[in-house]
Structure 1
Amino acid sequence: MRANRWGILVGVAAMWPAMVWSAVKGITGDLHQKRAGEVTHYLEENFRDRKTGYYSDKPGETQPATVWGCGIMFSALAGGARHDDAYEREMRKYFKVLDHYWDEGVKIPGYEPLPTGGGGNDKYYDDNAWMVLTFLEAYDITGDKRYLKRAEETQEFVLSGWDDQLGGGIWWHEGHKGGSKNTCANAPAALGCYRLAQYSDPEKAKEWVEWGNRITAWTVKQFQGDDLLFEDAVVVATGEENRGKLTYNTALMIRNFIALYGITGEHAYWNEARRTADAAQSMIQGNGAYRDKWRWSHLQVEADIEIYRLTGKKRYLKRAIETADHHYEEWKEKPSGEMIDVASLARELWLLADLETSAGRAFWERVDRWKKVK
């Protein structure tokens, strides 16, 4: 475990780096857009019940998919929505379907793992944190304030999982199943705070950023190793650590460091983002792709694409392309039987497609700019 090397401040300093679109515009063709459409169509044909609108975890199942996979599926549709209005329509429809998972029969509403009649107590904070991020992206695409409202409501549930045991941190599960606090709940929760600050009035924005700072500082102190990668979880009662370093944990912390630099202008955060992104190279396998199942590694692809958009450093793009292309080739050879992984593949392919199109480039040029918060 490594102590926090820097304090988290909110101020204004250096300018945010310019978008490196000269490098991005050098990418031509529509290979990944075609592949993304192919994989998304496969999901529609094999995992979706047209009558109910639900996706299933496996082909041919009648039970709706669990909400973790639903969030990734929604993010895949959001990725497609930047390229084709048909995907935006499907995204809107699926947003309504997801209301069946939304539990209003509790003090602080949130998403249950499966459709609920209300009054449930089986919610996972990480599942809900992912929903916040994808709904904010949907809001950026459409301007529809229903997505923003639900993101804010969901984030309130996520933050309710924080307490002072072990000096802070958000639990993995509201009933403390497994007894752990995990990076996968805290890292996206912090990013949700930073993203929500961009849509809020100054007073509320400051509150969101303070929450994000609190979560980020605790996560760095608790989970970041000497190799700069992030461990998975800690059992609160015993302090026992799961030192496994899944790709998506490091990925979300890279994005938090980027967000902090954008909000504060403090170069320490920008340096931390780049150093941690460089350390992620150790998670690349001999085939050039990231280790871990697609449900985890696609988020490291997303982090690589984000830092590439800001730096133009092609080593980050190379990792993203080689991972996504390897996943696609595996899928073509033997399609995965799990919706969550196929949706993860569609998501990373749509993110690469964004670099191939003027619509995708324009979207991220707008979204990647951070509002300073005093």
Structure 2
Amino acid sequence: MKKTNFVLLVLLMLVFPGLLSAKKKAGDNDECYKKEMLSLQKAIQKDFFDPVSGYYYVVLDSSKREVKDGYLREYTYLWSLCAMFQATNEIEKLDKKAKLMGPMIKNIDNYYDPAPPKPGYSDYIMNLKPGERYFDDNQWIGITALDGYARTKNKSYLKLGKLVYDFMMTGYDNVLGGGIYWKDTSKSSKNTCSNGPGVLVALQMYQATNEQSYLDTALLIFNWTNEKLKTPTGLYYDNIRTKDGSIGKATFSYNTGTMLESYVYLYEITGDEKYLDEANKIADSSLDFFYGGEKFRDGYWFNAVLLRAYQHLLKYNKDMKYIQGFKKCLDAAIKNDKNEKGLFTGRDGIQNLVEHGGMLEILARFAWIESHYDITNCDF
């Protein structure tokens, strides 16, 4: 290479660091994250799935399983299946022959609750002892179903998305000026975790149907969430209490993830640069806050939701710094948190299904990323 060309290349790399992680070259095929994904998928089925009942266990250690209302909750809450459902969707993107979403929906159907005003999903298995209906749990199911519809055009996925949309809107009212409650049995708070995903469900329904009412609803919830729960640094608080309007100021990665992806969807739908500009600002703030250290601040599943937003943003912002920052923490988790069974201890040391579903989704997404981009060697 001529000296002048070499100097120019170095200068370009310094000015545009994203060039260091260019598109994957033909023939590059390390697949280290795919191998980790397949290993974890196998371990989850071996250790968390009970073939006798057909249900998944909530945690592996039976002494850690919750007793609620005098009843042992041996099997998993719906939340964990939300994580597993999205993971199966990401695996199907990698392997078109994999038929994983259908069986997962059948498992989720055990939580279906037809109670008025609109049917939805209970947080626990209906024929054992049904619990409460959380709007966010239902929304995670809707998000995955609508992801699946966008990919396959399977109308049953759109029907499921519509069911979730109709249910979540029973949780919307004008208390505090708008917003969706956390669950249908309590009106004590309106949370980012039930409004950010609500925006996504509405935006995905708009993309699927082109019906303006869905976009109108999405913007209504989106604007309210930004007004009430956005932090000065561009992240998101956890909740606002209806009693006095006080703010629960915990800051979790999944809340920032849903709102960041909402900005990306709105740019995708409208073409308005203001949404992409703000998405980039939020991504920068989240990168510093959540991935500035050497390990994940939150549980794996919370981080999986923020990774969804980073991966979506990558379509319009080619700088790989968000993926690389996330990768540093992911590699540390694989290196330090995995045991001899191929399972993960998690932040609290308890091996539960929701965090394993979250890690499975993360690994599936990185398996896709490593097949399309050069993200350097796996550091584990």
Aligned position for 2:377: none
Q: Does 1:172 align with 2:193?
A: no
Distance 1:141 1:331 in 2: 33
Aligned position for 1:341: 355
Paired amino acid for 2:40: V
Shift of 1:241: 0.8
Q: Does 1:161 align with 2:158?
A: no
Could you tell me whether the CA contact under 8 Å between 2:292 and 2:325 is conserved in 1? Answer: no
Q: Does 1:72 align with 2:86?
A: no
Distance 2:159 2:335 in 1: 39
* 1:270-289 equivalence runs, <5 A: 270-284=276-290, 287-289=293-295
Shift of 1:60: 6.3
Could you tell me whether the CA contact under 8 Å between 1:103 and 1:117 is conserved in 2? Answer: no
Count, aligned residues: 335
Distance 2:151 2:61 in 1: 32
Aligned position for 1:353: 367
Could you tell me whether the CA contact under 8 Å between 2:172 and 2:181 is conserved in 1? Answer: yes
1:146 to 156, 167, 181: 156
Q: CA 1:259 to 1:90, structure 2 compared with 1: closer, same or farther past 3 Å?
A: closer
Paired amino acid for 2:201: G
Q: Secondary structure at the match of 2:94?
A: coil
Could you tell me whether the CA contact under 8 Å between 2:304 and 2:362 is conserved in 1? Answer: yes
- Tell me which structure has the larger Cα radius of gyration: 2
Shift of 1:53: 2.8
Paired amino acid for 1:115: I
Paired amino acid for 1:110: G
Aligned position for 1:236: 242
Distance 1:152 1:24 in 2: 37
Q: Deviations over 1:294-339 (max 9, x none)?
A: 1212212222222223311021110222232222223324733111
Q: Does 1:23 align with 2:32?
A: no
Runs ≥4 residues deviating over 6 A: 118-121
Could you tell me whether the CA contact under 8 Å between 2:291 and 2:329 is conserved in 1? Answer: no
Shift of 1:92: 1.1
Shift of 1:123: 0.5
* Structure holding more strand per residue: 2
* 1:116-155 equivalence runs, <5 A: 116-117=126-127, 122-155=132-165
Q: Does 1:213 align with 2:219?
A: yes
Aligned position for 1:305: 311
State the structure with bigger RCO (CA 8 A, min sep 6), 1 or 2: 1
Distance 1:233 1:184 in 2: 8
Q: Deviations over 1:48-98 (max 9, x none)?
A: 112333211112658321011110011111111122356x32321121121
Distance 1:117 1:105 in 2: 14
Q: Percent identity?
A: 25
Distance 2:102 2:240 in 1: 37
Could you tell me whether the CA contact under 8 Å between 1:248 and 1:300 is conserved in 2? Answer: yes
Aligned position for 2:125: 115
Distance 2:47 2:361 in 1: 17
Could you tell me whether the CA contact under 8 Å between 2:58 and 2:77 is conserved in 1? Answer: yes
TM-score, L = length of structure 1: 0.83
Could you tell me whether the CA contact under 8 Å between 1:139 and 1:148 is conserved in 2? Answer: yes
TM-score, L = length of structure 2: 0.82
- Taking only aligned residues, the RMSD between alpha carbons, in angstroms, comes to 2.5
Shift of 1:356: 3.0
Q: Secondary structure at the match of 2:185?
A: coil
Aligned position for 1:192: 201
Distance 2:338 2:195 in 1: 34
Could you tell me whether the CA contact under 8 Å between 2:202 and 2:218 is conserved in 1? Answer: yes
Paired amino acid for 2:38: G
Aligned position for 2:59: 58
